[in-house]
Structure 1
């Protein structure tokens, strides 16, 4: 562990590292808060949902996918969520065990609460994804679910914006961020804006901005930073300003045009790796896992962003999200076989 911490200091400038809080990433122990559920992929790949006669079941949900991505990279990953107390919830628990994701902070909800279900296609174009979120179990997360957690046992808390969409889970998420900051560990946010989960653009923007201001690392796309700004066209300026307001690292993703990463004294433009995409889903979760694991391993900021981009390129070329997440060896091999991406 001491060697990892020294590597982190050597690999990051003080400006990019954001001080001692981000040094805790070298512990390589992550708490991830948010959605877990079941994904049903129309099978075989290329089949449209309305024509399918069979489906392949996988673990899904943004937080669960990030947790799997980190575990595949050798990190210790623990999930904070709620699942339904039924067969689908038990499927998710078994999948978390299979991937080596800790679930001591996963609670079961009864009644009408149900684990999320996504019915998805493996198609590069016109990919349909139908997500069932009525009375979602993960949104029943309560403040009591995070009060008993000792955040000092971890190096970072990762939250997804989806968890902020309803009052109960919103309060629990904001409390988790505050407790993590009080414990001196890094706080990380994937804005993960899903319009269907929110009453309005304005409410989503205000709540997500409140959470972002509690975070050391913020990752989102152009629309999501526009959400934080209050106007879609002001996203880039907002991403830049969040560092001035106190964030250590802000990653502004631009899809096929790469990303711009802001830190205290630097601005880094990066491209994306070429790949033959089978589907568009899972890229953001893979990016987060690869990016954070690289920072935890002491890689410089630019290399960490590129490692996240490589993980995203791998995942969109495979079936599923959680099962598509690459191991550290697979990611190393992919990066070694590819030229460094050109900046668009």
Structure 2
């Protein structure tokens, strides 16, 4: 059975009750379960896939809320651990009128950062698994080394590795550490998803095409480049590319849109009978991008990330009926 293995942070996002205010000016927040890998796991599950969340939560009410939420969606928590050594991570968010965000994180350290590399030994992997990870949990911690261990384990089994840098600079002591770490993990992936807002920072190139081509290093076979409402393009190592326009919607909150997009992509990879994911992207890339663009656009029309994810039935009714 094909599965998504999502490793990294699962946290609580506190979304402001008002928009167009600086974080220090916000008086009220609404609690939402979040964290990019968690959002991706929930998206892939709601769209018909099997997802395992690999992280560590604090022995606290926020950790319990995360478990209750993702298990209700159907995300598997067999490899989720609990610790009393640190609390569950929190993120406070402020929103502009256009739905763009500013973050303040509480994780020094958080429970996910203390996830130990040896915990990966208990995770069974196979050639059909797709591993997804981001950069938030690649700051220097035991969890960073757990990422390396699981990446190697999945690759040795013949599985597929997907990396979405999902840059969050406030979490790093300096920008150079973030860039160097992200660049060191890109060659380990088979598929890299990157946004137009991140491209020049991650690659060091201002020219778009030069920047994209620079990502084809190590084992990278496909780069998925997202441009918000303007759509997305899949670039392949052999020079082939596939592009799809985005969907125009009234944006309320962009939180989780990028996660929903890559979660939708992965859902298509793990629910297909085709075992060669690069071949699948080449042959069905246009339909996969249309599907994923729609899912991402849908998420921006509501507040929060996980609660905004449409079901597979909702997507199919909107696109194909």
**What is the TM-score with the length of structure 1 in the denominator?**
0.81
Separation (CA, whole Å) in 1 of partners of 2:292 and 2:66: 25
Instruction: Say if 2:59 is the partner of 1:85.
Output: yes
Name the count of aligned residue pairs. 307
RMSD of Structure 2 on Structure 1 (CA) = 2.4
Q: For 1:181-196, what aligned pairs fall within 5 Å after superposition?
A: 181-196=155-170
More helix by share: 1
Instruction: Say if 2:52 is the partner of 1:73.
Output: no
Instruction: Say if 2:283 is the partner of 1:309.
Output: no
Partner of 1:4: none
Deviation at 1:57, TM superposition (A): 2.4
Deviation at 1:294, TM superposition (A): 1.9
Deviation at 1:143, TM superposition (A): 0.3
Deviation at 1:73, TM superposition (A): 0.6
Instruction: Say if 2:102 is the partner of 1:118.
Output: no
1:182–1:235 Cα change, 3 Å: farther
1:58–1:291 Cα change, 3 Å: same
> SS where residue 87 of structure 2 aligns?
coil
Instruction: Say if 2:198 is the partner of 1:224.
Output: yes
Q: CA contact under 8 A between 2:39 and 2:305: conserved in structure 1?
A: yes
Separation (CA, whole Å) in 2 of partners of 1:110 and 1:244: 40
Structure 1: give runs of 5+ residues left out of the alignment. Answer: 1-26, 338-344
Deviation at 1:277, TM superposition (A): 0.8
Q: For 1:1-344, what aligned pairs fall within 5 Å after superposition?
A: 27-43=1-17, 50=25, 52-53=27-28, 55-111=29-85, 113-120=86-93, 124-125=97-98, 127-134=100-107, 135-152=109-126, 155-229=129-203, 231-234=204-207, 236-243=209-216, 245-265=218-238, 266-298=240-272, 300-336=284-320
> SS where residue 77 of structure 2 aligns?
strand
Deviation at 1:236, TM superposition (A): 3.8
Separation (CA, whole Å) in 2 of partners of 1:137 and 1:232: 35
Deviation at 1:29, TM superposition (A): 1.0
Partner of 2:275: none
Deviation at 1:154, TM superposition (A): 5.3
Partner of 2:277: none
Structure 2: give runs of 5+ residues left out of the alignment. Answer: 273-279
Deviation at 1:247, TM superposition (A): 1.6
Deviation at 1:329, TM superposition (A): 1.1
Q: CA contact under 8 A between 2:205 and 2:211: conserved in structure 1?
A: no
**What is the TM-score with the length of structure 2 in the denominator?**
0.87
